[in-house]
Every structure is written in structure tokens, then in C-alpha cells.
């Protein structure tokens, strides 16, 4: 027999700390100005309708404003965006600075123009799970960078931003 859980919350956090994930930056226009957050939980769900899912661990602050927005923009990030991903992952990080290269879409969302791809979405369904919220999102349109930059995707693993590694 294998050992089972001693402390479920501790073991759960340790398990997912080691589970690698791609990194997204989700932005929206809000009554309080542009808002954004870094998410490691974005995954595609369906093709018809084109839909993705992500979760936020609280429903206040930037997350709450994104949950309330009519639409939001999900940028899939490359390794060269690690500093921006870090800034949007902590409170007090430098956000929406000119150096980060923001534009605004005609529909109002802040757009990191050099991101490889940004999917403009609307919330289809919000599913509360504990104090988190799962957001099932329909993709409305997709913006690709004019000059993709040839970067490798960014991943988060063991509390560290990393690049995608070699094929096995």
C-alpha cells in the first residue's frame, strides 16, 4: 500500500506546486480602469462553441472586476513575458506601464500587443467552488501578434517561471 494523506490541504498544495502549467494574462476594462491577473489554470474545453476555462481563487479585487466584465482578454504568454506575468501575479506589482507595451482593443480590453495570441472572451457560466470561482468562457474573437517573436511558451512549475523543455 502507498501512504495516504496526512494533511489533505498540505498534500494538495504540494501536488499542484509540482504540476506544470502554461501561463495566461487575463485583462479587462472596468469601472476602476484596466485590470489584469496572471492565471495558471487556463485550458481549452470545447471547439463548438470555442470555449476555455480558468479559475480565480477569490472574487474580489482584480478578479472580481474581471468576473463582472462584459468581456475579457486571455493572453497566452511566452517566456519573454515572465516579468510581466510576475508583476500581475502579486499585489503591488507594476501593471499597465508604457514599457510593457499595452494597446487598447476597439472593444475596450487592454491588449499586450506583442503576445503571441489573445482570446477575447465572455463568461458563459461561473461555478463557485469553495471561495474560488471557475469561469467557463466563450471565445468571441482571437488576436494574433503581427510579429510573433518566435518565443517559447512560458510555464510555471515549483514556484518558478520556466521555459518549455526538450521533446522526450
Smaller CB distance to a second copy: residue 2 or 31? 2
Position 90 contacts a second copy (CB under 8 A): no
Burial bucket for residue 158 (CB in 10 Å: 0-12, 13-18, 19+)? exposed
Rounded to the nearest whole angstrom, what is the least distance from the CB of residue 162 to a second copy in the complex?
5
User: Among 27-35, 62-70, 87-95, 125-133, which window interacts with a second copy (CB under 8 A)?
Assistant: 125-133
Residue with Cβ nearer a second copy (32 or 48): 48
For the purposes of burial, counting CB atoms within 10 Å of the CB of 16, is it exposed (0-12), middle (13-18) or buried (19 or more)? exposed
Tell me the per-residue interface mask from 43 to 82 with a second copy, x by CB under 8 A, - otherwise.
xxxxxxxxxxx-x-x------------------x--x--x
Query: How many whole angstroms separate alpha carbon 77 and alpha carbon 148?
Result: 11
C-alpha span between 72 and 28 (Å, rounded): 5
Min dist. Cβ of residue 133 to a second copy (A): 9
CA-closest candidate to residue 84, choices 61, 105, 113, 120: 113
* Site track 96-115 with a second copy (rule: CB under 8 A), x = hit: -------x--x----x-x--
Closest-CA residue to 88 (of 125, 68, 109, 61): 61
164 binds a second copy (CB under 8 A): yes
Q: Name which of residues 10 to 39 contact a second copy (CB under 8 A).
A: 11-16, 18-22, 24
Amino acid at each position: 500500500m502507498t501512504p495516504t494523506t496526512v494533511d489533505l490541504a498540505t498534500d494538495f498544495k504540494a501536488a499542484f506546486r509540482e504540476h506544470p502549467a502554461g501561463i495566461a494574462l487575463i485583462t479587462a476594462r472596468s469601472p476602476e480602469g484596466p485590470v489584469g491577473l496572471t492565471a495558471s489554470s487556463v485550458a481549452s474545453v470545447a471547439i463548438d462553441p470555442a470555449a476555455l476555462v480558468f479559475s480565480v481563487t477569490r472574487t474580489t479585487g482584480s478578479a472580481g472586476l474581471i468576473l463582472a466584465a462584459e468581456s475579457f482578454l486571455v493572453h497566452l504568454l511566452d517566456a519573454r513575458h515572465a516579468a510581466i506575468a510576475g508583476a500581475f501575479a502579486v499585489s503591488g506589482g507594476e501593471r499597465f506601464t508604457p514599457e510593457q507595451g499595452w494597446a487598447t482593443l476597439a472593444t475596450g480590453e487592454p491588449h499586450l500587443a506583442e503576445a503571441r495570441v489573445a482570446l477575447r472572451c465572455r463568461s458563459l457560466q461561473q461555478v463557485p467552488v469553495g471561495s474560488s470561482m471557475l469561469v467557463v468562457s466563450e471565445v468571441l474573437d482571437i488576436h494574433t501578434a503581427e510579429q510573433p517573436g518566435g518565443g517559447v511558451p512560458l510555464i510555471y512549475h515549483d514556484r518558478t517561471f520556466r521555459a518549455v523543455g526538450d521533446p522526450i
